[in-house]
Amino acid sequence: MSQHPNRARLLISCQDKPGIVSAVSTFLHQYDANIVQSDQFSTDPEGGMFFMRIEFDLGNSSPDFLRFKKEFHTLADKLDFEWKMELAARKKRMAILVSKEDHCLLELLWRWRSGELQVDIPLIISNHPTNKQVVESYGIPFYHVPVTRDTKEEAEQEVINLLKQHDVDFIVLARYMQILSPTFVESFPYRIINIHHSFLPAFIGANPYAKAFERGVKLIGATAHYVTDDLDEGPIIEQDVLRVNHRYSTQELRVAGRNVERIALARAVEWHTNDQVIVYGNKTVVF
Amino acid sequence: MSQHPNRARLLISCQDKPGIVSAVSTFLHQYDANIVQSDQFSTDPEGGMFFMRIEFDLGNSSPDFLRFKKEFHTLADKLDFEWKMELAARKKRMAILVSKEDHCLLELLWRWRSGELQVDIPLIISNHPTNKQVVESYGIPFYHVPVTRDTKEEAEQEVINLLKQHDVDFIVLARYMQILSPTFVESFPYRIINIHHSFLPAFIGANPYAKAFERGVKLIGATAHYVTDDLDEGPIIEQDVLRVNHRYSTQELRVAGRNVERIALARAVEWHTNDQVIVYGNKTVVF
Amino acid sequence: MSQHPNRARLLISCQDKPGIVSAVSTFLHQYDANIVQSDQFSTDPEGGMFFMRIEFDLGNSSPDFLRFKKEFHTLADKLDFEWKMELAARKKRMAILVSKEDHCLLELLWRWRSGELQVDIPLIISNHPTNKQVVESYGIPFYHVPVTRDTKEEAEQEVINLLKQHDVDFIVLARYMQILSPTFVESFPYRIINIHHSFLPAFIGANPYAKAFERGVKLIGATAHYVTDDLDEGPIIEQDVLRVNHRYSTQELRVAGRNVERIALARAVEWHTNDQVIVYGNKTVVF
Amino acid sequence: MSQHPNRARLLISCQDKPGIVSAVSTFLHQYDANIVQSDQFSTDPEGGMFFMRIEFDLGNSSPDFLRFKKEFHTLADKLDFEWKMELAARKKRMAILVSKEDHCLLELLWRWRSGELQVDIPLIISNHPTNKQVVESYGIPFYHVPVTRDTKEEAEQEVINLLKQHDVDFIVLARYMQILSPTFVESFPYRIINIHHSFLPAFIGANPYAKAFERGVKLIGATAHYVTDDLDEGPIIEQDVLRVNHRYSTQELRVAGRNVERIALARAVEWHTNDQVIVYGNKTVVF
pLDDT tens column, B155-175: 999 999 999 999 999 999 999
Q: State residue C3's pLDDT score.
A: 67
Q: Of A70, A87, A104, which residue constitutes the final position of a domain?
A: A87
* Single-letter amino acid code for the residue at B194: N
The question of whether B77 is a catalytic residue gets the answer no
Q: State residue D181's pLDDT score.
A: 94
Domain CATH for A160: 3.40.50.170
Strands (E), A62-138: 82-87, 92-98, 119-120, 124-126
Residues of chain D numbered 216-275 and touching chain B (CB < 8 Å) = 247, 249, 251-252, 255, 258
Does C282 share its domain with C146? yes
Q: Is residue D200 part of a domain?
A: yes
Q: Which residue of D has its CA nearest to B249?
A: D1
Does C188 share its domain with C129? yes
Does B147 share its domain with B182? yes
The rounded distance, in Å, linking the Cα atoms of B185 and B181 is 6
Q: Which residue of B has its CA nearest to A264?
A: B218
Mean pLDDT of B27-32: 94
Rounded to the nearest integer, the mean pLDDT of chain A is: 93
Q: State residue A18's pLDDT score.
A: 87
Q: Is the CB of B21 inside 8 Å of chain C's CB atoms? A: yes
Closest of B70, B73, B27 to residue C21, by C-alpha:
B27
- Among A109-113, A197-201, A275-279, D193-197, the least confident range: A197-201
- Among A160-174, B223-237, D78-92, D182-196, the least confident range: B223-237
Q: Is residue C31 part of a domain?
A: yes
Q: Which chain A residues are within 8 Å of D16, Cβ to Cβ?
A: 34
Q: Of B87, B110, B138, which residue constitutes the final position of a domain?
A: B87
Q: Is residue B1 part of a domain?
A: no
Q: State residue A47's pLDDT score.
A: 82
Assess whether pLDDT exceeds 80 at residue A65: yes
CB contact under 8 A, D255 and B106: no
Assess whether pLDDT exceeds 50 at residue D1: no
Handedness of CA C108, C113, C118, C124 (dihedral sign): positive
Q: Which chain C residues are within 8 Å of B26, Cβ to Cβ?
A: 22, 25-26
Number of residues assigned to chain A: 287
Is the pLDDT higher at C49 or at D200?
A: C49
- Helix (H, G, I), strand (E, B), or coil: what is residue A93? strand
If one counts every other C-beta atom within 10 angstroms of the C-beta of residue A140, the result is 16
Fill in the DSSP letter of residue C279: E
Q: Which residue of A has its CA nearest to B223?
A: A200
Q: B229 with B188: CB under 8 angstroms?
A: no
Strands (E), C106-150: 119-120, 124-126, 142-144
Does C145 share its domain with C39? no
Q: State residue C72's pLDDT score.
A: 97
Helix crossing, B65-79 with B20-30: angle to 10°?
160
Q: Which residue of A has its CA nearest to D287?
A: A39
Q: Of B57, B87, B117, which residue constitutes the final position of a domain?
A: B87
Closest of B210, B194, B195 to residue B249, by C-alpha:
B210
Q: Which chain D residues are within 8 Å of A2, Cβ to Cβ?
A: none
Helix crossing, C250-273 with C103-113: angle to 10°?
40
The rounded distance, in Å, linking the Cα atoms of C97 and C111 is 17
The string of DSSP letters for C140-182 reads --EEE----TTTHHHHHHHHHHHHHHTT-SEEEESS--SPPPH
Does B66 share its domain with B120? no
C219-253 pLDDT, tens digit each: 999 999 999 988 778 999 999 999 999 999 999 99
- Which chains have at least 3 CB atom pairs separated by less than 8 Å from chain B? A, C, D
Assess whether pLDDT exceeds 60 at residue B128: yes
Q: State residue D58's pLDDT score.
A: 94
pLDDT band at D45 (very low <50, low <70, confident <90, very high): confident
Q: What percent of chain A stands above pLDDT 70?
A: 99
Does C33 share its domain with C142? no
Number of structural domains chain B divides into: 2
Does C102 share its domain with C240? yes
Mean pLDDT of A74-85: 97
CB contact under 8 A, C255 and A116: yes
Q: State residue D207's pLDDT score.
A: 87
Q: Which residue of D has its CA nearest to C223?
A: D200
Q: State residue B1's pLDDT score.
A: 42
Q: What is the largest CA-CA distance in chain A?
A: 66
Q: What is the radius of gyration, based on Cα positions, of chain C? A: 21
The rounded distance, in Å, linking the Cα atoms of D169 and D190 is 11
Strands (E), A135-191: 142-144, 170-173
Q: State ipTM.
A: 0.88
Fill in the DSSP letter of residue A130: T
Does B108 share its domain with B11? no
Domain CATH for C59: 3.30.70.260
> What are the backbone angles phi and psi of residue D237, rounded to the nearest 5°?
-100, -45
pLDDT band at A77 (very low <50, low <70, confident <90, very high): very high
The rounded distance, in Å, linking the Cα atoms of C4 and C59 is 10
Rounded to the nearest integer, the mean pLDDT of chain D is: 93
The rounded distance, in Å, linking the Cα atoms of A126 and A116 is 24
Name the range with the highest mean pLDDT among A124-128, A201-205, B59-63, C228-232: A124-128
β-pairing verdict for A142-144 and D277-280: unpaired
Q: Is residue C1 part of a domain?
A: no
Q: Is the CB of A29 inside 8 Å of chain D's CB atoms? A: yes
- Helix (H, G, I), strand (E, B), or coil: what is residue C108? helix
The rounded distance, in Å, linking the Cα atoms of B34 and C272 is 29
Handedness of CA B156, B161, B163, B169 (dihedral sign): positive
Q: Is residue D1 part of a domain?
A: no
Q: State residue C1's pLDDT score.
A: 42
- CB-CB: which of D198, D241, D284 is closest to C246? D284
Does D168 share its domain with D274? yes
CB contact under 8 A, D40 and A45: no
> What are the backbone angles phi and psi of residue B133, rounded to the nearest 5°?
-65, -45
Q: Which of D64, D77, D229, D232 is catalytic?
A: D232
The string of DSSP letters for chain B reads ----TTEEEEEEEEE--TTHHHHHHHHHHHTT-EEEEEEEEES-TTT-EEEEEEEEE--TTSPPHHHHHHHHHHHHHHHT-EEEEEETTS-EEEEEEE-S--HHHHHHHHHHHTTSS-EEEEEEEESSSTTHHHHHHTT--EEE----TTTHHHHHHHHHHHHHHTT-SEEEESS--SPPPHHHHHHSTT-EEEEEEEESS---SS-HHHHHHHHT-SEEEEEEEE--SSTT-S-EEEEEEEE--TT--HHHHHHHHHHHHHHHHHHHHHHHHTT-EEEETTEEEE-
Assess whether pLDDT exceeds 80 at residue D37: yes
pLDDT band at D13 (very low <50, low <70, confident <90, very high): very high
Does C59 share its domain with C191? no
| A76, A154, D35 from A18: Cα distances, Å | 15, 50, 7
The rounded distance, in Å, linking the Cα atoms of B18 and D203 is 47
Assess whether pLDDT exceeds 70 at residue C165: yes
Q: Is residue D205 part of a domain?
A: yes
Does D38 share its domain with D169? no
The string of DSSP letters for D75-125 reads HHHHHT-EEEEEETTS-EEEEEEE-S--HHHHHHHHHHHTTSS-EE---EE
Q: Is residue A141 part of a domain?
A: yes
In angstroms, what separates the C-alpha of C84 from chain B's closest C-alpha? 19
Q: What percent of chain B stands above pLDDT 70?
A: 99
- CB-CB: which of A37, A40, A41 is closest to D42? A37
The rounded distance, in Å, linking the Cα atoms of D236 and D271 is 12
Q: Is residue C244 part of a domain?
A: yes
Is the pLDDT higher at B27 or at B232?
A: B27
Does C67 share its domain with C96? no
β-pairing verdict for B49-57 and D124-126: unpaired
Burial (CB count <10 Å: 0-12, 13-18, 19+), residue A130 = middle
- CB-CB: which of C198, C216, C237 is closest to D284? C216
- Which chains have at least 3 CB atom pairs separated by less than 8 Å from chain D? A, B, C
D221-254 pLDDT, tens digit each: 999 999 998 877 899 999 999 999 999 999 999 9
pLDDT band at C259 (very low <50, low <70, confident <90, very high): very high
pLDDT band at A159 (very low <50, low <70, confident <90, very high): very high
Fill in the DSSP letter of residue C128: S
If one counts every other C-beta atom within 10 angstroms of the C-beta of residue A92, the result is 19
Assess whether pLDDT exceeds 70 at residue C105: yes
The rounded distance, in Å, linking the Cα atoms of A121 and A94 is 5
Q: Is the CB of B110 inside 8 Å of chain D's CB atoms? A: yes
Q: Mention every residue, 6+ apart, whose C-beta is less than 8 A from residue A194.
A: A173, A224, A225, A226, A227, A232, A234
> What are the backbone angles phi and psi of residue D178, rounded to the nearest 5°?
-125, 140
Q: State residue D57's pLDDT score.
A: 93
For residue B269, the Cα-to-chain-centroid distance in whole angstroms is 5
| Residue-range definition of the domain harbouring residue A74 | 7-87
By 3-state DSSP, what share of chain A in percent is helix, strand and coil, each rounded to 5? 35, 30, 40
